[in-house]
Amino acid sequence: MYGGRKSSAAFLTSAPVRPALSRAEHRVARLAQDGLTNREIAERLGVTPAPSNSI
């Protein structure tokens, strides 16, 4: 170690692990990958798309 910095191996092992996608998230991602719009994805899933100003 130089100057108190961690080695790259130590940095990689201490990084937070990102959880895998849930089934629902995976389905949405697949539909988006297939080129569907948010509205089309919502229709396929039987839900109402959230309005953009609700964030």
pLDDT by residue (tens digit) across 10-53?
556 666 777 788 999 999 999 999 999 988 999 999 988 776 55
Q: Measuring CA to CA, which residue among 19, 1, 20, 21 is closest to residue 11?
A: 1
* Structural domain includes residue 5: no
CA dist 7 and 16 (Å) reads 16
CA dist 31 and 19 (Å) reads 20
* Structural domain includes residue 8: no
* Structural domain includes residue 27: yes
pLDDT score for 7? 55
* Structural domain includes residue 29: yes
pTM of the model: 0.55
The domain in which residue 31 lies consists of 18-50
Contact (CB, 8 A) for 28 and 41: yes
Overall number of domains in the chain: 1
b/e 33-55 (16+ beta carbons within 10 angstroms → b): eeeeeeeebbeeeeeeeeeeeee
pLDDT score for 49? 72
